[in-house]
């Protein structure tokens, strides 16, 4: 099942939808938001699977909202071996955790502002893990039981701020710098989160091409590791890191500019597209 949050051209009210073939079926009567849907658990999934498509919209007839509105986004740095190496770093011995604030959360098809505070804004294609139930001190063996689903995420990064600060929160947390979507795919549709092709495509050119099996720390371990210190809540998002091919480490660097379009494409999860516009 693939669900999303959206608005229609006729109303500014946020709606909840489910992908059914090539249309989005309105299921707002089942749950108002993705987090509400998660909270209702199996009952909501059963109701959605048996819903009658009384109101449906073409995929290009809606304004997408972030597929989930998380309480927090916990991001992982240098979680692909080749990405760590391309940046001149040794692969980490334990997960590198930072955060992207909720002001950075953005949507599929949304325009992302190239804030004038930075001159080196970069892309990062990532698999997002959406948490399904509250978890603290979770074992690695039970970790995937805490997953609701998966989505595409672009960890947009202001590299000059990131490197100058010596830590990553400001450079990663600018307004609009965390597009998520277009859908959250429930975990029953993803047999193995560590067997998904992932690509980052800039203006039609493949810049990043890898597989989630190349993560240094797998999804289950990340949930285990994070919850030893930080309680995860339903709707929280883990951004699992990006593979090699980001712009800043290319020769010459390829950084985002006004008019660029970037797609995050993940096998069986979807395709997230954003355009970039100068401030």
* Predicted local distance difference test score (pLDDT) of residue 151: 99
What local confidence, expressed as pLDDT, does residue 139 receive? 98
Overall average pLDDT of the 235-259 stretch: 98
Q: What is the pLDDT of residue 196?
A: 98
Looking at the chain, the whole-number percentage of residues with pLDDT higher than 90 is: 95
- Look at strands 105-106 and 56-58 and give their pairing: unpaired
Mean pLDDT for all residues in the chain: 97
Residue in 274, 97, 82, 247 with CA at minimum distance from that of residue 176:
274
3-state SS, the chain, equals: CEEEEEEECCEEEEEEEEEECCEEEECCCCCCCHHHHHHHHHHHHHHHHCCCCCCEEEHHHEEECCCCCCCCEEEEECCEHHHHHHCCCCCCCCCEEEEECHHHEECCCCEEEECCCCCCEECCEEEEEEECCCECCCCCCCHHHHEEEEEEEECCEEHHHHHHHCCCHHHHCCCCCEEEEEEEEEHHHCCCCCCCEEEEEECCEEEEEEEHHHECCCHHHHHHHHHCCCCECCCCEEECCCCCCCCCCCCCCCCCCCCCEEEEEECCCEEEEEEEEEC
The string of pLDDT tens digits covering residues 166-213 is: 999 999 999 999 999 999 999 999 999 999 999 999 999 999 999 999
Quick check: 263 pLDDT over 80?
A: yes
Residue 180 pLDDT: 98
- Span 4-16, mean pLDDT? 93
pLDDT at 107: 98
What does the pLDDT read at residue 11?
86
Dihedral over alpha carbons 148, 44, 232, 100 (to 10 degrees): 70
- Give me the pLDDT at residue 258, please: 98
Instruction: Return the C-alpha torsion angle 273, 216, 171, 151, nearest 10.
Output: 30
In this prediction the pTM is 0.97
Using the predicted structure, report yes or no on whether residue 53 has a pLDDT greater than 80.
Answer: no
Give 52's pLDDT tier (boundaries 50, 70, 90). confident
Residue 223: is it exposed, middle or buried by C-beta count within 10 angstroms (0-12/13-18/19+)?
Answer: buried
Per-residue model confidence (pLDDT) at position 54: 79
All structural domains of the chain with their residue ranges: 2-64, 73-278
- For residue 221, the model assigns a pLDDT of 98
Q: Note whether 44 and 51 are within 8 A (CB).
A: no
The confidence score (pLDDT) of residue 194 equals 98
Fold of 73-278: Fumarylacetoacetate hydrolase; domain 2 (3.90.850)
């Amino acid at each position: 099942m693939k669900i999303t949050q959206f608005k229609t051209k006729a109303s500014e009210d946020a709606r909840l939808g489910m992908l059914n073939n090539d249309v989005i079926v309105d299921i707002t009567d089942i749950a108002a938001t993705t987090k509400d849907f998660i909270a209702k658990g199996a009952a909501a999934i059963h109701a959605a699977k048996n819903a009658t498509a009384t109101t449906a919209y073409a995929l290009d007839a809606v304004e997408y909202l972030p597929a989930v509105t998380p309480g927090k986004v916990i991001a992982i740095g240098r979680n692909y071996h080749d990405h760590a190496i391309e940046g001149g770093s040794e692969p980490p011995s334990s997960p590198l955790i930072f955060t992207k604030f909720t002001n950075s959360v953005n949507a599929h098809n949304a325009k992302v502002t190239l804030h004038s505070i930075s001159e080196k804004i970069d892309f990062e294609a990532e698999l997002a893990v959406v948490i399904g139930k509250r978890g603290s001190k979770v074992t690695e063996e039970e970790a995937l039981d805490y997953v609701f689903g998966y989505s595409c995420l672009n960890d947009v990064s202001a590299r000059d701020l990131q490197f100058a600060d010596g830590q990553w929160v400001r450079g990663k947390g600018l307004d609009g710098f965390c597009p998520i979507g277009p859908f959250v795919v429930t975990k029953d549709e993803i047999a193995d989160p560590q067997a998904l092709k992932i690509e980052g495509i800039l203006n039609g050119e493949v810049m990043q091409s890898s597989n989630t099996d190349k993560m240094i720390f797998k999804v289950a371990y990340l949930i285990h590791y994070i919850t030893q210190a930080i309680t995860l809540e339903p709707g929280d998002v883990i951004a699992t890191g990006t593979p090699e091919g980001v712009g800043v480490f290319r020769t010459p660097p390829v950084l985002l500019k006004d008019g660029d379009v970037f797609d995050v494409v993940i096998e069986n999860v979807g395709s997230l597209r954003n355009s970039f516009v100068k401030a």
